[in-house]
Structure 1
């Protein structure tokens, strides 16, 4: 049986994810209309938020010390990257997603219900896929973006994302 405090936490996350999904869809629609760099900002910020949310769940639900250490690195690095991206976005008039991706909300809900080795397996798979996608996204922006600040940000962040992918694959 799930404790009352855990039920409240799960309902809070579910409500936040539903609200954030609406925010993401609104930001993504505006970015699609603007194209290129604006879409990169939405996708990159949403991906960073997803990594942070999933990795905070790992602090409570993971069994493996390696997974917990990796998760702490993800929270630190993706929070810092999103802070840098936020500064660039604000200076250049781009809108951040402000939420996890709509596509990943079911994965986050699944992670919330898992514990121990089951959590570790699902979280590791999610981190591998997410970082493959992030490497592709940042590689594309660093080579094809129009905004110089975003191109520089993507190029500077890319090695960290590649390292995260290697770390996730080694878990």
Structure 2
């Protein structure tokens, strides 16, 4: 047993530098680390963040309509309020710095998730809504964390850093709502 724990600890220790290298691409000619596109370009960040935000709002509006669970409805209202504010904050950040195009539609993945949610009802709806919210928040936390650490300096990067704690709080709330 002790040997197994020691092997797992050593594996984790040796895996950390490999994981850190995977987070950075290296320019072959210079060996200089470059930032990964998905986590660092403002346009990509804005596109992904806006689709995620729209999904959170639209799916939560569905939860207010379809759920009979008071905790789910309370959580859904919090999502609508916080993500509506986040959208306004992102627009303000974009107005203060370099412009990026703001999508007006969900990306195909979020659209499929919303369609699945529209088709669900009752307890199945609640379970699917909470499951999708957890997946969406896990993805959003990763996106915002990556951009706040590695993104282009400016108002959008500051927005990502300021919004990240709210997204992490939503994930914690999800655990409590799912448990109830």
TM-score normalised to structure 2 length: 0.73
For 1:118 and 1:166, how far apart are their aligned partners in 2?
22
TM-score normalised to structure 1 length: 0.77
CA deviation profile, 1:18-45 (whole Å, cap 9, x unmatched): xxxxxxxxxxxxxx8xx71111011101
For 1:73 and 1:90, how far apart are their aligned partners in 2?
26
For 1:88 and 1:140, how far apart are their aligned partners in 2?
17
Q: Flag as ranges the 4+ runs of structure 1 deviating above 6 A.
A: none
Structure 1 unpaired stretches of 5+? 1-31
- 1:81 paired with 2:86, answer yes
From 66, 81, 88, the equivalent of 2:71 is 66
From 53, 63, 80, the equivalent of 1:48 is 53
Q: In structure 2, what is the equivalent of residue 19 of structure 1?
A: none
SS at match of 1:96: coil
Query: Which of 157-166 and 96-105 deviates more?
Result: 96-105
For 2:101 and 2:93, how far apart are their aligned partners in 1?
10
CA deviation profile, 1:79-104 (whole Å, cap 9, x unmatched): 11011112222442111122222112
SS at match of 1:77: helix
C-alpha RMSD of the superposition = 1.6
- 1:134 paired with 2:140, answer yes
User: How far off its partner does 1:63 sit?
Assistant: 2.1
Looking at CA atoms only, which structure, 1 or 2, has the larger radius of gyration? 2
